[in-house]
Amino acid sequence: MPTITKKPVAKKNKEIVSGSEDQNRYFYGVGRRKTAIAQVRLYPKHKTITVNGKDYHDYFPTKRAQLTIEAPFKKMKTESFGGEVKLVGGGVSAQAEAVRHGISRALLAFNPEFKRRLKRAGYLTRDPRMVERKKYGLKKARRAPQWGKR
C-alpha cells in the first residue's frame, strides 16, 4: 500500500528566514480591508518602506494615508523597520488600512508581546465592512426607483 505524505503547512505570520544571512531575514504579514490586500515584508535595520516598487510617500501622497501606515510603528516605538509591500485592489484609504493591518501582523510575528497594545489600538482586527451588492429592480443596493402616483 502506498504511503501518503503530507506537505508541511506554514503557519500564518510566522518569521521567515531565507538564507543564513541576517539581511535576508524578514517578518511577513497579510493585511486586508474591503477589497484591498497588502502583503507586507518587514526587514529589521532597513529605513524605507516601498509600496509596489515606490516609496510610500510617493504612493500615498496624502498625509492621512501616510500617518495610517506609520501608526503601528509609532504605537510600538519601533522606527528601525523598513520593508516591501505588494498591494492589490481597493481604493486609497482601503489600501492604506490594509498596509497598516499587514504591518501590525508582521510586527506581531517579530514580537508576540506587541499583541496586547496592537489589539487595543484596533490594528489587528480585520474590518469586515464591505460594499453591499446591488439588487435587481433597485437603482443601488437599497435605493428604489422613484415612485409616481400617475
- What pTM was computed for the model? 0.81
C-alpha grid cell, residue 104:
501590525
**Rounded Cα–Cα distance for residues 96 and 132 (Å):** 21
Helix (H) or strand (E) holding 65: helix 63-76
Per-residue pLDDT of the chain (150 residues; tens, 9 = 90+): 566 665 555 555 555 554 445 667 899 999 999 999 999 999 998 889 999 999 999 999 999 999 999 999 999 998 889 999 999 999 999 999 999 999 999 999 999 999 999 999 999 999 999 999 999 999 999 999 999 998
Question: Does the structural domain 15-121 have CATH classification 3.30.230.10?
Answer: yes
